[in-house]
């Protein structure tokens, strides 16, 4: 299901850059930059057959709690080589693949690598960061969205059934009229579902504390 695919943004760097030059910098102005969302950063391994890569790709990322929870984050994928050159990532963790959970003001809250990589540990780290960055509840949103997905499965089943009934109606006006009424109800239910999804994904960020001068 498309709604359960993590949307990765491939980047060559993560550390904030100077607005004037576009180059990474250690000056205070750059360090004060604030991202739109907290970040889930995936430093990939050069070896796609690596056991931990397979665990992430085949077990952790498809986990419903992880996939739904990722909606709270800007999900960034970066290669090992680029991570080594990134002044933020090179300071946190050594192994690849690894995951870093980073606040909007570019503070690394958690690093998962090696044996620390698991769905449970990732969900816990995500929940901890959401608690810090949002007024929303991670658990409530994840469970609520899972229920919405179940509703969507039912709606998609209804749509397929109506399409099948239309084919078998063979032009019968009475049957087609009944199907049209059912289709109108289906479309109304879809509109209601979309409104529920929009409401659930209306996240409220906490205020980023400004550093003391």
Question: Could you state, in order of their start, the residue ranges of all structural domains in the chain?
Answer: 2-133, 139-200
Q: How many CB atoms lie within 10 A of CB 68?
A: 22
pLDDT at 21: 42
pLDDT at 211: 59
d(CA 104, CA 207): 10
d(CA 117, CA 145): 24
* Span 112-135, average pLDDT: 96
53 has a pLDDT exceeding 80:
yes
pLDDT band at 7, cuts 50/70/90? very high
Select, from the ranges 32-46, 72-86, 197-211, the one with the highest average predicted confidence (pLDDT).
72-86
Contacts of 143 (CB under 8 A, 6+ apart): none
* Span 66-76, average pLDDT: 98
176 has a pLDDT exceeding 60:
yes
pLDDT in tens, 128-140: 999 999 999 999 9
pLDDT at 3: 74
d(CA 120, CA 68): 14
% of the chain exceeding 90 in pLDDT: 82
62 has a pLDDT exceeding 60:
yes
Provide the token pair at 151.
């509703």
Mean pLDDT, all residues of the chain: 91
Task: Tell me how far apart the terminal alpha carbons of the chain are, to the nearest angstrom.
Answer: 48
% of the chain exceeding 70 in pLDDT: 90
d(CA 122, CA 141): 16
Q: Specify the CATH number of the domain 2-133.
A: 3.40.30.10
Do 118 and 60 contact (CB within 8 A), yes or no? yes
pLDDT band at 2, cuts 50/70/90? low
86: left (phi over 0), alpha (psi -120 to 50) or beta: beta
d(CA 33, CA 35): 7
For tokens 């604030």, name the residue.
Answer: 34
30 has a pLDDT exceeding 90:
no
């Amino acid at each position: 299901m498309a709604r359960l695919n993590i949307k990765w943004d491939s980047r060559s760097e993560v550390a904030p850059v100077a607005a004037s030059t576009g180059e990474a910098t250690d000056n205070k102005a750059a360090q004060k930059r604030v991202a739109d969302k907290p970040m889930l950063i995936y430093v990939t391994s050069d070896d796609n057959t690596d056991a931990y890569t397979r665990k992430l790709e085949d077990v952790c990322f498809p986990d419903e709690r992880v996939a739904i929870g990722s909606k709270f984050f800007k999900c960034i994928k970066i290669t090992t080589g680029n991570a080594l050159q990134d002044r933020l990532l090179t300071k946190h963790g050594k192994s690849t693949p690894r995951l870093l959970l980073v606040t909007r003001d570019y503070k690394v809250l958690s690093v998962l690598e090696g044996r620390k990589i698991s769905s449970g540990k990732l969900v816990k780290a995500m929940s901890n960061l959401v608690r810090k960055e949002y007024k929303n509840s991670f658990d409530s949103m994840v469970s609520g969205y899972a229920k919405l997905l179940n509703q969507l499965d039912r709606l998609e089943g209804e749509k397929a059934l109506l399409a099948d009934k239309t084919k078998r109606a063979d032009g019968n006006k009475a049957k087609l009229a009944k199907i049209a009424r059912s289709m109108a109800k289906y479309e109304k239910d879809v509109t209601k579902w979309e409104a529920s999804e929009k409401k659930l994904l209306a996240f409220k960020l906490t205020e980023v504390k400004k550093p003391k001068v």
